[in-house]
């Protein structure tokens, strides 16, 4: 995929997402953001014979900022209805966790989120083997009843898995009502609401999102019956605690999704603290063998926690077991059926 134009890259994505002649696709942008994405997808979609439309929402007011689950579609039922009536939505504003996205998916529209920088989209293209292996991993996770995560730094936490579905992300989507995020490459589920117990130690080199921080001093989380009861450590622990407290929402200390990364082309070391050229940090979430736990909302999985207080924390060098069977050992995937090598 080296040296391809942005349109050619988007064409590959739409082919992987099963776009066919006569399908109706809408590219959703806001204000002046990612207009080049709309142009590239529009051109690519037309080459496949799709009916292409660009829905451009007004720019948000400067005072509004961005919050989890809050979108420019709120209060625009006509726009939501239009998106419910297309075959595929290319989301260039980030609708995840919003009631609008859930309504659009429920209507059968498949959704692809594409908000990362073009150079990252070019480097982390979806490919058939990624989809195949992630799908197998999702089946493995879906059958499990208990997940245990350990690490040399002292992580030892157990997730009971009896409530929520498993989600497979492989960076493309061709199934009605399905969402995916380009780039990606991981699987996740959620622990029972009262079924997560133990200790998680975020170690030096692990990443805090959305804080854009690479941890230098360990952060120790104590979790009891699905809720964080204590956070201890140095400066980064204070930052996490202050961030959570700023929402004034006790649901922000709930445990959200958990899983592992599978993309062999994603690189942990490409993350530069404090420097984020747009997007949502998908490379850090997707790198091969990371174990990522999240806190806050679980409504994405059908849960009732819809707090706006959300952190994703990819961990390196962890071991992950499903029903006592090893899946990840010291940051490396050990189940042969789901191993992937960079080609």
- Give φ, ψ of 33 to 5 degrees: -80, 135
Asked whether the predicted pLDDT for residue 279 surpasses 70, the reply is no
Which pLDDT belongs to residue 270?
Answer: 78
CATH of 6-115, one of 3.90.1580.10, 3.40.50.2300, 3.40.367.20, 3.40.50.450: 3.40.50.2300
Residue ranges matching CATH 3.40.50.2300 in the chain: 6-115
By mean pLDDT, which of 16-20, 177-181, 247-251, 272-276 is the weakest?
A: 272-276
The closest of 321, 328, 339 to 156, measured between CA atoms, is: 321
Residue 291 buriedness (CB in 10 A; 0-12 / 13-18 / 19+): buried
For residue 10, the Cα-to-chain-centroid distance in whole angstroms is 20
- Half-sphere exposure in the Cβ direction for 173 (13 Å, CA): 27
Using one digit for the tens of pLDDT, what is the confidence trace for 199-246? Answer: 999 999 999 998 889 999 999 999 999 999 999 999 999 999 999 999
Q: How far apart are CA 23 and CA 45, in angstroms?
A: 9
In this prediction, residue 80 has a pLDDT band, given cuts at 50, 70 and 90, of very high
Beta bridge partners, 233, equal: 219
Predicted confidence band at 60 (pLDDT cuts at 50, 70, 90)? confident
Q: Could you tell me which residue, 278 or 266, shows the higher pLDDT?
A: 266
Predicted local distance difference test score (pLDDT) of residue 272: 62
C-beta neighbour count of 21 within 10 angstroms: 8
Task: Assess whether pLDDT exceeds 80 at residue 310.
Answer: yes
Q: What is the C-alpha to C-alpha distance for residues 138 and 142, in angstroms, rounded to an integer?
A: 6
Q: Is residue 1 pLDDT above 50, yes or no?
A: no
């Amino acid at each position: 995929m080296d040296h391809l134009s942005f349109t050619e890259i988007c064409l590959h994505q739409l082919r992987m997402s099963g776009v066919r002649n006569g399908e109706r696709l809408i590219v959703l942008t806001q204000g002046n953001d990612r207009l080049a994405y709309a142009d590239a997808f529009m051109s690519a979609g037309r080459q496949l014979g799709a009916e292409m439309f660009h829905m451009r929402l007004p720019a948000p007011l400067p005072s509004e900022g961005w919050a989890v689950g809050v979108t420019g579609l709120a209060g625009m039922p006509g726009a939501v209805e239009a998106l419910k009536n297309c075959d595929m939505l290319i989301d260039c504003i980030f609708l995840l966790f919003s009631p609008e996205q859930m309504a659009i998916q429920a209507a059968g529209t498949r959704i692809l989120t594409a908000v990362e920088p073009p150079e990252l989209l070019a480097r982390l293209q979806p490919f058939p083997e990624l989809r195949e292996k992630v799908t197998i991993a999702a089946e493995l996770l879906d059958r499990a009843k208990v997940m245990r995560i350990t690490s040399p730094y002292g992580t030892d936490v157990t997730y009971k898995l009896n409530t929520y579905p498993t989600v497979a992300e492989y960076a493309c989507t061709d199934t009605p009502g399905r969402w995916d995020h380009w780039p990606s490459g991981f699987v996740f589920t959620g622990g029972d609401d009262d079924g997560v117990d133990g200790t998680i130690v975020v170690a030096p080199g692990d990443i805090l999102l959305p804080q854009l921080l690479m941890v230098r001093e360990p952060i120790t989380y104590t979790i009891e019956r699905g809720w964080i009861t204590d956070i201890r450590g140095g400066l980064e622990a204070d930052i996490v605690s202050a961030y959570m407290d700023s929402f004034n929402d006790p649901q922000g200390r709930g445990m959200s999704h958990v899983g592992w990364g599978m993309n062999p082309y994603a690189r942990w070391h490409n993350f530069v603290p404090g420097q984020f050229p747009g997007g949502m940090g998908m490379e850090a979430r997707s790198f091969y063998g990371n174990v990522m736990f999240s806190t806050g909302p679980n409504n994405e999985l059908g849960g009732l926690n819809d707090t706006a207080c959300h952190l994703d924390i990819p961990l390196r060098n962890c071991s992950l077991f499903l029903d006592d069977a090893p899946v990840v050992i010291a940051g490396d995937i050990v189940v042969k059926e789901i191993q992937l090598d960079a080609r």
